[in-house]
Amino acid sequence: MNLAPYTKYLKCEPPLLGHIPWLTRLPDRWQVIPSKRLFVHRKERAREGDIQLSATQAYGVIPQAEFERLVGRKVVRITHNLEKRAHVEPDDFVISMRSFQGGLERAWARGCIRSSYVVLEPTPQAHVGYFAHLFKCADYISALQATSDFIRDGQDLNFGNFSLVDLPLPPKEEQEKIARFLDRESFRIKKFIRNKRRLIELLREQKQNIINQAVTRGLDPNVKLQPSGVEWIGDIPAHWDFRRVKYLCRNVNKQTSEKGSDEVYIALEYVEGWTGQISLPDEDVSFVSQVKRFEAGDILFGKLRPYLAKVARPENRGVCVGEFLVLRPSRDKLVAEFLEQKLRSRDVIDIINSSTFGAKMPRADWAFIGNLMIAYPPLGEQREILGYIQKRSAETDQAITRAEREIELIREYYTRLISDVVTGQVDVRGMEVPDVTEEKRQVLDYSPEEAEDLVDDEAAAEVAQ
């Protein structure tokens, strides 16, 4: 290989004044190199025929078509000023708008990306696999964050920020060994997380099946059934009644622009789908648009993308965004919690979702929901069903919590492992480490929903809903 074009980057110098000190302890055989001597700022504009790439923390820099396949959603294409975008080569690194949160992104394909991103071309001294792990190291990200006191969410980093953080440089063979070791550990850990996610998904599906069966057929497997006369409902217990939703609860639409000091504010993102769990932010939230008032025990039904099943019953009074229906049950016919479980059951969510309008932002309409027929048992049986659901759900929830905790612990271990290995605190030179195949590198520990949240590129930021 002809190294002449790179000779000016190969000279090793002590860290420059003003650089961010983060490499406090390294093996004697390692060096500390100014980052701009290991990576060149690639300033080339898009070439003719370049495909559009998306920068993601979950997958690195990949073709938009590949991102669509992984996440299962369409991406809004950018069609103007493509010639001004930045050209990217495989194994380049991209400084994206979220790099100060999640590190630099490795490019897996040739193409182009938005011009505000900084593209880094590695020099021959830098083993791409080693630096791919180092740039995701928590200690490195902290050092990157310290390059400026004005960096905040949504603001781009630049080459100047990158240049302020010096980099460790092990011998080339050791870089390769570290890369192979962390590739293998990454595969093993991500496979573990993926399997735990599948277990959680199965447990949640099992829980929904239990709830759906209980609120549609009751607890007695030998109960006498009769046709409901409604196709999507089918047969129901003979002693159950059924009415339209609008006769079982009231759609409350009390608008306000103020929130009392003793009230809570609930947005769609605060409600977990299919569970009804509400997670309120620690800080107080301000809003400028009109919101709806609700009382403790009212049912909030998320009409935007109803397939997400964002149905909750707050314990405190407050206000919510207009994308919720505020439903107040008739206490003489229904236990409020039973109606909540009924509206969140799979059969009801499916039929409501089939009625939505709007391709990108599908919404359900109260006119349809209000006229929906639902079956329900006497009040005493409703309470029995709720007790059964609570007991069975508690068992499933404990298993889910254990699996989620195991994922959290293994991620903490992996974060520490990367930091220790890429800074030489753990010596892997004597370990026998097989190469990890490309297929194994594709094993990821993100769900599609999480991956969508980790997209940086403007071309993928607006994902068609």
Rounded Cα–Cα distance for residues 337 and 331 (Å)? 11
Question: In the sheet that 255-256 helps form, which strands lie side by side, from edge to edge?
Answer: 255-256, 291-294, 318-320, 264-266
Beta bridge partners of 63: 53
Give the pLDDT of residue 20.
67
Tokens standing for residue 288 = 């400028």
Residues 332 and 448 in one domain: no
Residues 286 and 173 in one domain: no
Residues 457 and 349 in one domain: no
Give the pLDDT of residue 18.
44
CA 390, 395, 399, 401 torsion-angle sign: positive
**Within a domain: residue 1?**
no
DSSP 238: T
Residues 140 and 257 in one domain: no
Give the pLDDT of residue 150.
47
What size, in residues, is the chain? Answer: 465
Residues 430 and 346 in one domain: no
Give the pLDDT of residue 24.
82
**Within a domain: residue 206?**
no
Domain boundary among 355, 376, 397: 376
Give the pLDDT of residue 101.
81
List, in order, residues 6 or more apart from 396 with CB less than 8 Å away.
203, 204, 206, 207, 210
- Do residues 422 and 137 make contact, with C-beta atoms less than 8 angstroms apart? yes
Domain boundary among 361, 376, 391: 376
- Do residues 370 and 377 make contact, with C-beta atoms less than 8 angstroms apart? no
Rounded Cα–Cα distance for residues 296 and 143 (Å)? 46
**Within a domain: residue 423?**
yes
Residues 32 and 155 in one domain: yes
Give the pLDDT of residue 426.
94
Residues 251 and 175 in one domain: no
**Within a domain: residue 356?**
yes
- State the pTM of this model: 0.77
**Within a domain: residue 93?**
yes
Give the pLDDT of residue 156.
61
Residues 96 and 180 in one domain: yes
Rounded Cα–Cα distance for residues 158 and 163 (Å)? 9
What is the count of structural domains for the chain?
2
Rounded Cα–Cα distance for residues 101 and 55 (Å)? 14
Residues 187 and 229 in one domain: no
Domain boundary among 376, 400, 425: 376
Residues 137 and 224 in one domain: no
**Within a domain: residue 269?**
yes
Identity of the amino acid at 14: P
**Within a domain: residue 28?**
yes
**Within a domain: residue 342?**
yes
Give the pLDDT of residue 433.
79
Residue 172: domain span? 20-192+410-461
Give the pLDDT of residue 146.
86
Residues 300 and 171 in one domain: no
Give the pLDDT of residue 8.
36
- CATH code of residue 417: 3.90.220.20
Cα 190–55–158 angle (5° rounding)? 120
Give the pLDDT of residue 422.
96
Residues 163 and 230 in one domain: no
Closest CA to 228 of 218, 216, 217, 242: 242
Full pLDDT tens readout for the chain, 465 residues: 333 433 333 333 443 334 567 888 899 999 999 999 999 999 999 999 999 998 888 889 999 888 888 877 777 677 777 888 999 999 999 998 777 788 899 999 999 998 889 999 999 999 999 999 999 999 999 998 888 754 454 456 788 889 999 999 999 999 999 999 999 999 899 899 999 999 999 999 999 999 999 999 999 999 999 999 999 999 999 999 999 999 999 999 999 999 988 999 999 999 999 999 999 988 888 787 899 999 999 999 999 999 999 999 999 999 999 999 999 999 889 999 999 999 999 999 999 999 998 877 899 999 999 999 999 999 999 999 999 999 999 999 999 999 999 999 999 999 999 999 999 999 999 988 777 665 554 545 555 455 444 445 444 443 333
